[in-house]
Amino acid sequence: MIEKYVFPGERLELKAVRREAGADASKTERTYESKVYDVLSDDRIEVVMPMEQTKLILLPVDGEYEMFFYTENGLYECVGRIVDRYKSNNVYILLVELETNLRKYQRREYYRYSCALDMDARNLFEEEIDKAENDKGYKLVPGLPLKRSVIVDISGGGLRFISDYKYEKGSYIYCKYHLFVKGSAKDYEIVCKILDVRELEQRPGEYEHRVQYMNLDVDEREEIIQFIFEEERRNRHKNSGF
């Protein structure tokens, strides 16, 4: 079945699965990005070993992972187990055995697109936060200075960005950036909540922030999702010789 939906060169994410004794459900841990190297059969695929900067991440044999495949027809998921690691044609490979059937993943806002997009941001004042929480027709204070940031991945539910300014976890910020959707540029001005913050180990003084959209309407969410699909499709065609 997987041979009909997943093809070499398509992006995938792996989330480590930890099953605790007595637990009814599995817990997911860190996410790794990679690509499909080859589809060998209905229950075995080869995956490019993920990397962090220039360092290979040696995922353990017998490790189980939730796998999310970004394909032309949408997002699919299954659980796989690593059964071997080896090198082929100078590429480090994970041999993965699928333990569940492939199924369509319905939450389209889950799609995260890795990118490098300029963004301007600032903290919200208390009165702005009150208005944002209680009044859908509120207006933010215009003309205030903004700090430059860089979006490193984006989805229909939120984004991740890096800046040399640390925003506090749980705080609200105003974000402004633009995307090209259906051939034209559009500005997005969105209130976001900071979900997580960490200082970059290799770049002291720079901070990675993960945020959730707070005031995004349905049409804007669909536009962002459309942007992600268009960029993913363009990248797949560009790298079709992978």
Q: What is the mean pLDDT of each run of 10 residues along the chain (242 residues)?
A: 87 76 47 91 94 88 91 84 95 95 71 90 86 64 91 92 95 94 88 93 93 85 84 72 50
For residue 184, which phi and psi values (nearest 5 degrees)? -130, 150
Burial of 68 (0-12, 13-18, 19+ CB in 10 A): buried
The confidence score (pLDDT) of residue 29 equals 59
What is residue 218's three-state secondary structure? helix
Q: Which amino acid is at 127?
A: E
CB 17 within 8 A of CB 28: yes
Q: Provide the phi-psi class of 239: left if phi over 0, else alpha when psi is between -120 and 50, else beta.
A: alpha
Domain ranges of the chain: 2-106, 110-236
- pTM for this entry: 0.57
Alpha-carbon dihedral angle through residues 220, 226, 227, 233, given to the nearest 10 degrees: 170
What's the CATH architecture for 2-106?
Roll (2.30)
The confidence score (pLDDT) of residue 133 equals 63
Question: What's the gap between Cα 175 and its chain centre?
Answer: 18
Cα dihedral sign for 211, 215, 220, 222?
positive
How many residues does this entry show for the chain?
242
**Which residues, at least 6 apart from 196, have a Cβ–Cβ distance to it below 8 Å?**
169, 209, 210
**Which residues, at least 6 apart from 16, have a Cβ–Cβ distance to it below 8 Å?**
28, 29, 30, 32, 59, 63, 64, 65
CATH of domain 110-236: 2.40.10.220
Identical topology for domains 2-106 and 110-236: no
Spatial separation of the C-alpha atoms in residues 100 and 228, rounded to whole Å? 27
CA angle 196, 157, 205 (to 5 degrees): 30
The confidence score (pLDDT) of residue 25 equals 40
